[in-house]
Structure 1
Amino acid sequence: MFGLGKFLSELQDLFGDLRGPAKALIVVLIGMAFAWMLIHHQWAEALLLVLSAIVAGYLLELIGTLLLPKRPRAGLLFLEGWVLGPAAIAAFVSGLIVVLAIDLTPPKDTDATTEEMMKTLAAGLSTFLSAAFVSWISEQDNTRISDRIRGQFYKKYKRAMVYPSPADGAMYFTPGSRGETTVYSSVQIGGWNFADRWERASRLSEEIAAGGSIPSSQAEIDNALT
């Protein structure tokens, strides 16, 4: 049966993974809206929108941490919401780049040396702002969002060393168990980019439901360590 999953898989084979470019396009489009606001001197409103997105992102992240460790997929869904803040900043910076490009366009009667200096300055500022902020929305490993989510998972899923495990809000797995390797292994799953972290969350959900990685005695932990 040619279901939705197969259809989406075929589209990805044809066009590649479009999540990253789609996110970049959304940021650029919102950036154009910010540029319009800045050109019309609506700086306060634009900054308020950015601040609201940052606050919303942190609230979503907080909900995600509360859902972990028992519901990893639901928790991850909310943890992903933290990107609202960086995305809003990236969009604002995209708009700011447009405004700078307009403001730093030299008048027609500008001498050649000054014109070249202004063009170089505009290009340098655009490159700096893009590298510093717009790159936050990348889909790759070792980005701010991937590192942040990995850190939350490391806090919530740990190796059991004693039985019973501490009641500190974390879930403790038997050393070397499927649950532990799902979180910490870089062999079974390559990294912490978007696809990898969702694969980890899905496997964790299955393993938590099965209960096979939770130690039932100190002897089980000791045997796993030897």
Structure 2
Amino acid sequence: MDYDAVIGTLTHWADAHDNVRALLLTGSAAAGQTHPLSDRDLEVYVEDLAPVLADDSWWDQLGEVLVVERLHAPGWFPSRVVYYAGGKLDLTVIPAGQIAFIPRDRPFRVLVDKDGHASALSLTSPTSALPSAGEFEQALHWGYAAALMCAKAAVREELWMAKVRDRDLKEQLLLLIEWDHRARYGAGVDVRYLGTRMRQWMDPDV
């Protein structure tokens, strides 16, 4: 997928539609840290979400669509994660009035800014609180419980359950590693998401 051409097409689309007020490129592409398999993450700021979410044409035309995830996670904004033959776009649709209130702790690039609000955005250092004693103890117990159940499932040849409990174990283990690095290097250490780019922020022995 020619991402430069795709982003150019989306930029022209955003410029041409009054409902779209801003378009931001985020993620590794905005930071200049792309991998050959990197996707592209874009935030689409609109006055009215309904017509944009109901219309597939603005992303359907960009390539051969293989799979689409229509997501609306609690506490976040609806998105269209589109897997194309040869590429992937993560498109988050956000009310235009929210542009100033979304924390920006990683680089971004403004592609469209019809109202001038994006020009006032700036980066802040990533911060995250350390756990309470209760949260730490819970993570330990959940992790060890998952390890025990994973071993039990493997011995009983319940391999699907073993895989599920292994994932539970890894989730708690990653949480403990993140807390450990924040405790030793400061709350602002960027631990990324789901272990991504872990070779950049985790200690080599970990």
Q: Same fold (TM over 0.5)?
A: no
Between structure 1 and structure 2, the one with the greater Rg is 1
The structure in which a higher percent of residues are helix is 1
The structure in which a higher percent of residues are strand is 2
- TM-score (norm. length: structure 2): 0.30
- TM-score (norm. length: structure 1): 0.28
